[in-house]
Amino acid sequence: MPPPTNVAEFLDLLRRSQLVAETRLDAVLQRHRQNGTLPQQIDPLANLLIREGLLTYFQARQLKLGRYKRFTIAGKYKLLELIGVGGMGAVYLCEHVLMHRLVALKVLPLEKLTDPSHEERFYREARAVAALDHPNIVRAYDIDRYEQLHFLVMEYVDGTSLQEIVSRYVLEKRWFDPIRAAHYIAQAALGLQHGHELGMVHRDIKPGNLLLDRHGVIKVLDMGLARFFNKQQDCVTEKYDDKCVLGTADYLAPEQAVSNIVDIRADIYALGCTFYFLLTGQSPFPEGTVAAKLVAHQTRQPQPVESFRKDVPPDMLKVLRVMMAKNPADRFQQPIEVAEALAEWAQQRIDPPPASEMPVHCPLVRALATPPTTSSTPLARLLFNHFGRSVRAHSQQTTATVQLASTACSSSMVTLNPAKGVTDSSGREIGISLGLGSTTQTSIAPTLPINSPDPFIGIIPQQNMKFSPYCSSTCVMWLLLAAILALIIAAVIAAFFLGRLYTK
């Protein structure tokens, strides 16, 4: 349809889009009519509906362009905002209309379907992300197809990429804090370690693929270039990408520029280049063509960080140089080694990211991102309260990655220490050790397990607890039934033996 020319046409499009319930829209319009504050122009009216929490910025723009269809995908995902557009598709912020939670939808462009490699790589990305379950990796919830649209439903990260954050620092002529940089690179290394343990290489680590949320947690994004080594049948890369260099030239490992067969050490190099970007505000080789950058990664050393700034600890620069070694054998061999090497600085306390670094949402998205919390009785208490079972804290045998996520959500003061494990802001040790063991996240049950040295606590009531009358009478009844049954069995056995004696 053509764009609306007046308020009446705009409201007609809004009603036809079914983005807002009729009763709610009428109530808002009626209130502003009575107050004399209802705008008579399209732009002020759209801004009013955004402030009232009825529309998002993206929805208002689409309606002003005359577009009122396809705001809902597959009947359950309502489009809220356009997050970004990349080579492998557009990413939208959506609301799950049934569960009322925010998700990110990555949609494969229709023109990409003409090339079989794009569709197969898109579904390979879904399989790769679905195998991952780690607090430092963006999770995948679903993959679906609606008409001609192919899309991946992912966890929505309420935050900003390190690329955007550091770029603002560059514009403001400020340096990014090296301690914060060490924290974020260490977290990304833990996420990569999880993927490495599943036989996966990311192949496109860069600042734009590391998202920082409001709690200070780093999430590794965009597994579209990841590749399995332990699945021979997943050979899309070999079929279609045998002559292609997959990755970003500014952060590409030397060996990745000449071969598409790389291992996790290529990700460690790219993570080192990202570390360099955080410390200097530019990529290692910012000048020249793509070909010149690829050659530079193989033959040249980047400009020393010390020439940009003097406040980066020398030992931190040593870690950076090992990560960016030209020879893969000279680098850290696993991402967990990077986290261990940065533990000296990652154990220092930092604040959550300032609000100025985080995205600004419209009222509708803010309401969905921060739903009201209500207290409720824990499920375990409802199930076991009659037997005196108590709900206790989660066992401290949880792995490092789970504790990193849970602690970071409550406070950003999470510290990494290879000798002592992980400690929170109060100094309490979180029982893990950052060795070369698994970082795979353990599953957390909705009802927390009993953490007690006595295996009978929680089954037999403690002395200070009382049975309810119903529980006591039930036990007595079962004891009586058991006694009667025992007497009957004894009588049958006695009758059997007496009968045999009588026949003899």
Question: From CA 59, how far away is CA 117, in angstroms rounded?
Answer: 32
Distance of CA 308 to the CA centre of its chain: 33
Q: Give the gyration radius of the chain's Cα atoms.
A: 30
Question: From CA 54, how far away is CA 454, in angstroms rounded?
Answer: 55
Other beta carbons within 10 angstroms of residue 30's beta carbon come to 11
Phi, psi for 428 (deg, rounded to 5): -75, 130
> Of 26, 144, 204, 263, which residue is the catalytic one?
204
The identity of residue 101, as a single letter, is R
Contact 78, 95 (CB under 8 A): yes
pLDDT value at position 173?
95
Contact 121, 128 (CB under 8 A): no
Judge whether 204 counts as a catalytic residue.
yes
pLDDT value at position 371?
56
Query: In terms of residues, how long is the chain?
Result: 504
Characterize 267-306 residue by residue with b for buried, 16 or more Cβ atoms within 10 angstroms of its Cβ, and e for exposed: bbbbbbbbbbbbbbbbbbbeeeeeeebbebbeeeebeebe
Spatial CB neighbours of 280, under 8 Å, sequence gap ≥ 6: 303, 305, 308, 309
pLDDT digit of tens for each residue in the chain (504 aa)? 889 999 999 999 999 999 999 999 999 999 999 999 999 999 999 999 999 999 999 999 999 999 999 899 888 999 999 998 766 678 999 999 988 899 999 887 776 667 777 777 767 767 777 888 899 999 888 888 888 888 889 899 999 999 999 999 999 999 999 999 999 999 999 999 999 998 888 888 999 999 999 999 999 987 644 443 333 333 333 444 444 455 688 999 999 988 878 899 999 999 999 999 999 999 999 998 999 999 999 999 999 999 999 999 999 999 999 999 999 999 999 999 999 999 999 999 999 999 999 999 999 999 988 654 444 444 334 334 433 333 333 333 334 443 444 344 434 333 444 334 444 444 444 333 333 344 444 333 333 333 333 333 333 334 444 444 444 566 677 888 888 888 888 888 888 777 776 665
pLDDT value at position 431?
38
Question: From CA 293, how far away is CA 281, in angstroms rounded?
Answer: 17
- Pull the structure tokens for residue 206: 């860069």
pLDDT value at position 210?
96
pLDDT value at position 460?
34
pLDDT value at position 440?
43
Phi, psi for 466 (deg, rounded to 5): -125, 145
pLDDT value at position 129?
73
Question: From CA 121, how far away is CA 291, in angstroms rounded?
Answer: 25
Q: Three-state SS for 464?
A: coil
Question: From CA 216, how far away is CA 197, in angstroms rounded?
Answer: 24
pLDDT value at position 143?
84
Dihedral sign for Cα 323, 329, 334, 338, please: negative
Q: Which residue has the tokens 């979180």?
A: 430
87: left (phi over 0), alpha (psi -120 to 50) or beta: alpha
The 3 state secondary structure assigned to 86-109 is: ECCEEEEEEEECCCCEEEEEEEEC
Dihedral sign for Cα 146, 151, 153, 156, please: negative
pLDDT value at position 218?
96
The DSSP element (H or E) to which 155 belongs, if any, is: strand 149-155
The CA angle 454-456-460, to the nearest 5 degrees, is 135
pTM of the predicted protein model: 0.70
CA dihedral 169, 325, 210, 417 (to 10 degrees): -100
